Structure 1
Amino acid sequence: MGQRFAWMLLMMILVFPAVCAAQEAEDHWFEVSALNPGLGAVPEEVERLTPRESIRSFFELAEKNDFAAAAHLLNLEDLSPQEQAAKGPELARQLASVLQHGEWVNISSLPARRDAMIDEGANQHPRAGEARRNLKLASLEANGQTYDIRLARYKAGDQQPVWLFMPDTLSVVPALYEAFGPAWVEPHIPERFKQPLGMLRLWEWLAIPLFIGMIGLLGFAVYSLTSLLARWLPAGVSSIFAGRVGMPLAFIVMSLVAQWTLGYVVSFSGAATTVFRILLALIMAWGLGLIALRFVDTILLKVTSRLVGEIDDTRHQDERRLLTTLYALRRTIILITVVIAAVYVLGNLSIFDSLGMTLLASASVLTVLVGIAGQAVLGNILASFQVALAKPVRIGDSVFFEGQWCYVEGIFYTFIRLRTWDERRLIVPVTYFISKPFENWSTKNAKMYRQFVLTLHLSADVQCLRDKFQELAKDEEGVIDHDRLLCYVTGQSADAQEITFYLMTPEPMSGWLAETNLRERMLAFVREQHPEWWPREVVVISHQDVARGHASGHR
């Protein structure tokens, strides 16, 4: 009994792996009863054991216009044998045109293994080491629907498994051909110009520069017309806006006309079409975003038209707050535009599907590197938004920063521009600015106390000076709040006294002028009316010093 159980266990050990291997092998292809019986024998030039062989063979046969042989690379199981012979070559021709014009298929990126397995550790692919029985070559959009072009592995009887275009793909080929088939120009091109030359065909090397040149001339015409319109319009917001949107409007028109031309007039190979799709999507997103930005800039220019050249804290707080908010809105629109453009481009272009996961892995590494390298830039951008929201400073505020008296002239993404009193410009990174203490003299209002000191003799009459100071200060244009004028003795030495004069001014610049004017007028008053009040040194001479002096004279 024990010997029989041992034999059964041994048989299970030997048979079970074989059964599992057979089951696992069956999972690597689709079993079919027959492959395209209506097409006859498979020509020798048809290679279809690996995905790369199948696609390369399909394109080579299509270039030779041998669509009868190319039909053997289609799984026509949804057609009867009679229909396979009649419709197979036509489906192959239409599919070849779709792949040629719709999207660039990178043949070298396709698996060269029969089981389409991705090698272990290849670019850390998430499906590394996994055998596959179907692949997606491309995704194309037609009539508002997205369709996948797929290959699958099929096995009929004892024949070797082969890679063919799936029946689901072939069922949508007519619809895709309507969208991506040859355009109006291509049927009129002589066959000798349709020969391949590198990645493109011969006629495309001639037509693409002509196409780009014509689109460029159209853009120049739109730009010129917009500039002319800006000169015709009456001076104001409309003329300013028209003068600033000429270039983005020209690029938008160029993009729209180019897309219409590629869809209905002329169609290029997949490589050129993919490049044009990327560029046109970028141009469209950039143009629309730039027009929105120009619109905000025009409003900003209109609001600040009275402040140009004089952006300081003499303006009302509401005006300066509005100006700062508009600058923040401008930065927000730029950021939103960049995000929308990226989402638009990535959402409407399926280039990642055709270029494979390698590009995505490379993009991830590049993102990490850019993130590390761009920490300073990102920090400045976030700090800029912090300043825009919290408003510790506003455009036009008067600040005292690192020993410099400045006006905040502009708050940008990565830096703050300060205008000093002597018309110099300080460019300060935003993170550095907010990390350092600074005085904002315009937080509530621009008024500030100014003071100056006169050093006079101890005999100077302080009340006389106080009365004269108040008289002169009330006549000074840059002095306000006359009830807050002050004059006090703030220091004393053996020979002199320091008298400090205080005055209230509406803002720093006029305050500085008022301070200097009053100092000069008070000095003139002392010089003209009381010169005896100037500080002087007192020398005390004793009798012994006098006697010594006489004695020295007699000798």
Structure 2
Amino acid sequence: MESYLWTIVIALGAAAVALVVVELVHRIVRRLGRRSVLLAELSEHSHRPFQVAATVVAVNFGIRFSTGYGVGTHWRQTLLHLLVLAVIATIAWLVASLLLVTEDTALARFRIDVPDNRQARRIRTQIVMLRRITIAVTVVLTVGVMLMTFPEVRGVGASVLASAGVIGAIAALAAQSVLGNVFAGVQLAFSDAVRLDDVVVVEGEWGRIEELTLSYVVVQIWDDRRLILPTSYFTTKPFQNWTRTQAAVLGTAEFEVDWSVDVQAMREELRRLVEGTELWDGRTCVLQVTDAVGGMVRLRALVSAGDAPRLWDLRCLVREHLVGWLRDQRPTALPRLRTEVGDASGRLPWQWAPPSAPTPGPSGGQPAGRRTTAHEPPDDARLFGGDDDGEARSSAFLGPDEPAEAPPR
């Protein structure tokens, strides 16, 4: 009985000393953490695991060196085995917390709430994936070390290792899809194909990458729905990434109008509109006639914005404003189907009038007043030329109407 009481007193004393030492260390680290982000994270997130681990280790050593091998051998061995398991678990908890503190410190250096955050989002994606991998590896190693403390498990280990090849092959076949998603998640994290907060178009839906794990990816759709896809989807199927290199994007607004539309006046109105809104980033403002068949003229307004949400609002603003401008300022340019009855002597803008005979020029040749030079479109009528941005775009992309070169004979 005296031996038991002495063991309890030693264990409690060791625990008390450990708690006092941990508290002193915690106060010092917290004071130093006012100047260091790493120490501040340590004092906040690793205090509790350090406290528990130090206490369990102190109790283990106290019981181990306070009892003799001849007194209470059975309960002593059982208690020491339980304490060893607790030491392994608490040390693993402490190591995991230190890894999390290191990753949180690294994440704090890369902010994503800034306009140019592509590099920060890439690094945050890799750090988050590394965090999940390290936690999984730590848990697996901890469970393995705890099992190896049992003699029965160590005896079975030799036969397990002998049949590891067969078991590995069977497990690989059974978990093929799971392992495929895991490797796809690692590939996504380090290939820079997709990152957290990227704007993507998948399955016909437009949204942002909200969460990226080893097995699945969560896409937050623009209407706050969530599209959950396996990570292997992004390595086996095509998808659009609007922020792969930069957040700035281009968008269009198309109009079908009558042939009597004044394209230049509409182009100038578009320019006045975008220059008066903060949604436009000042890069591209182009209005072009993209089609003129079937009795209608199709106009395409191409504008640019700093990111996809601003572009959406800008496209809607362009449509709303130009629709109102056509209705109020150019009603004859509204789309219509013509049916002419009677003679063609009318002079209304939408009525056809026979052309007058050309007036001969002074030399009897070319009619007077006719220009001999080709009309040069303004800069905002061209997408692949006219300014530095257009010339750069032309050098990178020739356009859909670029004629293909004839094969050599």
Q: TM-score, normalised by structure 1?
A: 0.50
1:462 is displaced (CA, Å) by 1.4
Aligned partner of 2:336: which letter?
A: R
Matched position secondary structure for 1:516: helix
- Cα distance in 1 between the residues matched to 2:175 and 2:90: 25
Distance of 2:54 and 2:64 partners within structure 1: 15
Superposed CA RMSD: 4.3
Match of 2:360 in 1: none
Residue number in structure 1 paired with 2:182 = 381
> Counterpart in 2 of 1:508?
308
Residue 289 (str. 1) matches residue 89 (str. 2): no
The AA in structure 2 aligned to 1:277 is V
Query: Structure 2 matches for 1:180-219, cutoff 5 A?
Result: 188-189=3-4
* Structure 1: runs of 5 or more not aligned: 1-185, 191-203, 544-555
CA distance in 1: counterparts of 2:20 and 2:227, whole angstroms? 39
Q: 1:219 offset after TM fit, Å?
A: 7.8
Matches within 5 A, 1:147-546: 188-189=3-4, 234=34, 237=37, 238-266=39-67, 268-300=75-107, 302-304=108-110, 306-307=111-112, 310=113, 314-334=115-135, 337-338=138-139, 341=142, 350-352=149-151, 357-358=155-156, 361=159, 374-482=175-283, 484-492=284-292, 494-539=294-339
2: CA distance, partners of 1:327 / 1:189: 49
One-letter code of the match for 1:292? L
Deviation at 1:438, TM superposition (A): 0.7
Query: What CA deviation, in whole Å up to 9, does each residue of 1:272-326 have, x standing for no partner?
Result: 43333233223322322332223212331x124x43xx58xx4343223332332
Contact kept, 8 Å, 2:129 with 2:214, in 1: the verdict is no
How many residues in Structure 1 have an aligned counterpart in Structure 2?
331
Query: Which amino acid is 1:522 matched to?
Result: L
Does the 8 A contact of 1:457 with 1:496 survive in 2?
yes
Instruction: Tell me, in whole angstroms, the C-alpha distance in 1 between the residues paired with 2:98 and 2:167.
Output: 28
C-alpha distance in structure 1 between counterparts of 2:67 and 2:172, whole Å: 41
Q: 1:388 is paired with a residue of what secondary structure?
A: helix
Q: 1:341 to 1:356 in 2, by over 3 A?
A: closer
- Paired with 2:314 and 2:270, the residues of 1 have a C-alpha distance of 12
Secondary structure at the counterpart of residue 419 of structure 1: strand
Distance 1:294 1:449, change over 3 A: same
CA deviations on 1:56-80 (whole Å, 9 max, x unpaired) are xxxxxxxxxxxxxxxxxxxxxxxxx
Structure with higher Rg: it is 1
Q: Is the 8 A contact 1:226 1:243 kept in 2?
A: no
Letter in 1 for 2:89: L
Q: TM-score, normalised by structure 2?
A: 0.66
Kindly state the Cα deviation for residue 452 of structure 1 after the two structures are TM-superposed.
0.4
* Deviation larger for 262-271 or 246-255: 262-271
CA distance in 2, matches of 1:461, 1:469: 13
Match of 1:38 in 2: none
Deviations 1:35-71 (A, max 9, x none): xxxxxxxxxxxxxxxxxxxxxxxxxxxxxxxxxxxxx
Q: Name the % identity.
A: 22
